[in-house]
Amino acid sequence: MCPSTDPGWTPLFLTAGGLVMEMGGSNSHGAVVAREYGLPAVVGVRDAVARLADVTTVRVDGTSGRVEPVG
């Protein structure tokens, strides 16, 4: 989870299981890099960082745009 990404974040995608981002759209940096790495991504999630701050694991469904806590 993050507010947004920029090219400096690209190496972090190598260890990520998915992306939840507050700002951006389907052509934003995070969404494009996630597609390149085959990661599920949901972007434009208002207050994602604050709402999921205490959550350890989330399920990210890039097809449906759903993000849900696990466990």
Is 29 among the catalytic positions? yes
Q: How far is CA 27 from CA 36, 53, 55, 69, in A?
A: 12, 26, 27, 26
* Of 2, 29, 51, 52, catalytic: 29
Active-site annotation, residues: 29
